Structure 1
Amino acid sequence: MSQSNVTRAASQARHSPANQRLTAGVLFLLAALAALGALATNIILPAFPAMGEDLGVSVRELSATLTSFFMAFALGQLFVGPLSDRFGRQRLVLIGLVIFIIGCLVCAVAGTLPQLIVGRVIQALGVCATSVLSRAIARDLFDGQELTRALSLTMVAMAAAPGFSPLLGGAFNSWLGWRATFGLVGVLAILLAMYYIIRLGETHSADKRPALSASSVLKIYQQLLIDRRFMAPALSVSLVIGSLYAFFATAPAILMTGFHFSPFELGLFFASTVFVVFGAGFLGPRCAQRWGQVRVARVGIIIALAASVALLVGKEDVFFFSTFLTLFLLGMGLVNPLGTAIALQPFGQQAGAASALLGFLQMGCAAMAISVAATLPVSAYTSLGIILTSSLTLSFFAFLAMR
Structure 2
Amino acid sequence: MEAQTAARKRSRPRGKAALETSSLSIPTPARLTRGRLALLASLAALGALATNIILPAFPAMGREFDVLPRDLALTLSVFFLVFAGGQLLVGPVTDAIGRRPVVLGGLIVFIGGSILCSLAPSFEWLIVGRGVQAAGACAAAVLARAIARDLYRGPELTRALALVMIAMAAAPGFSPAIGTAMSSLFGWRSLFVVVALAGALVTLSFLRTVGETLPPEARRSAHPLRTAQAYLHLSVDLRFISPALACSLIIGCLYTFFGAAPAIMMTNMGFSAADLSIFFAATVFIVFGAGLPASRLALRWDPSRIGIAGLSITLLSGIWLLALSDGAHTVPFLAAVSFFLGGMGLVNPIATAITLEPFGDRAGIASALLGFFQMACAAVGTWLISELALPPSAAFAVVVASGSMLAFIIFLPAVFRRSKPTKEPA
Q: Normalized against structure 1, the TM-score is what? A: 0.93
Match of 2:181 in 1: 171
Contact 2:104 2:203 in 1 (8 A): yes
Larger radius of gyration: 2
Q: How does 1:385-396 map to 2 (within 5 A)?
A: 385-396=397-408
Identity %: 49
SS at match of 2:361: coil
| 2:64 paired residue among 46, 51, 54 | 54
Shift of 1:118: 2.4
Match of 1:3 in 2: none
Contact 1:171 1:264 in 2 (8 A): no
Deviation at 1:188, TM superposition (A): 0.8
* Partner amino acid, structure 1, of 2:165: M
Q: Give unmatched runs, 5+ long, in structure 1.
A: 1-11
Following TM superposition, by how much is the alpha carbon of 1:113 offset from its aligned partner in structure 2, in angstroms?
4.2
Equivalent residue for 2:36? Answer: 26
TM-aligned CA deviation for residue 247 of structure 1: 0.9
Counterpart of 2:244 (choices 234, 248, 256) is 234
Q: Which moved more, 1:20-29 or 1:98-107?
A: 98-107
Of residues 228-237 and 254-263 in structure 1, the stretch that sits farther from structure 2 once superposed is 254-263
Name the counterpart of 2:315. Answer: 305
Secondary structure of residue in 2 paired with 1:347: helix
Q: Determine the structure 1 residue equivalent to 2:374.
A: 362
Cα RMSD, aligned residues only = 1.8
Residues 197-236 of structure 1: per-residue CA shift (max 9 Å, x gap):
1221111111111222111111111110110000000001
Corresponding residue of 1:131:
141
User: Is structure 2 residue 126 aligned with structure 1 residue 116?
Assistant: yes
- Give SS of 2:355's match: helix
Displacement after TM superposition at 1:111 (Å): 5.0
- Cα separation, 2, equivalents of 1:394 and 1:112: 43
Count how many residue pairs are aligned between Structure 1 and Structure 2: 391
Q: Establish whether residue 183 from structure 1 lines up as the match of residue 198 from structure 2.
A: no
Partner of 2:131: helix, strand, or coil?
helix
**For 1:51 and 1:259, how far apart are their aligned partners in 2?**
26
Letter in structure 2 aligned against 1:337: P
Deviation at 1:81, TM superposition (A): 0.9
Cα deviations by residue, 1:9-59 (Å, 9 ceiling, x for unpaired): xxx99x826832101111111111111111111111222333333333343
Q: Structure 2 matches for 1:194-273, cutoff 5 A?
A: 194-273=204-283
Residue 119 of structure 1, CA deviation: 2.0
Q: Distance in 2 between matches of 1:18 and 1:103?
A: 33
Structure-1 residue corresponding to 2:18: none
TM-score by length of structure 2 reads 0.88
Q: In the alignment, what sits opposite 1:5?
A: none
Which residue of structure 2 aligns with residue 8 of structure 1? none
Q: Which amino acid aligns with 1:394?
A: L
Partners in 2 of 1:69 and 1:40 — Cα distance?
A: 9
Contact map agreement 1:45 1:252 (CA 8 A) in 2: no
CA contact (8 A) 1:280 1:333 kept: yes
Q: Distance in 1 between matches of 2:119 and 2:382?
A: 26
CA distance in 2, matches of 1:121, 1:83: 20
- Give the aligned partner of residue 362 of structure 2: 350
Asked if 1 retains the 8 angstrom alpha-carbon contact of 2:173 and 2:282, the reply is: yes
Q: Deviations over 1:294-345 (max 9, x none)?
A: 0111111111111122112214132122110000000100111000000001
Question: What CA distance in whole angstroms lies between the structure 2 residues aligned with 1:209 and 1:127?
Answer: 23
Q: How big is each residue's C-alpha offset from its partner over 1:217-273, in whole Å with a ceiling of 9 and x where there is no partner?
A: 111111101100000000010011111111111222222222232322221110010
Residue equivalent to 2:8: none
- How big is each residue's C-alpha offset from its partner over 1:136-166, in whole Å with a ceiling of 9 and x where there is no partner? 0011111111111111122111211111111
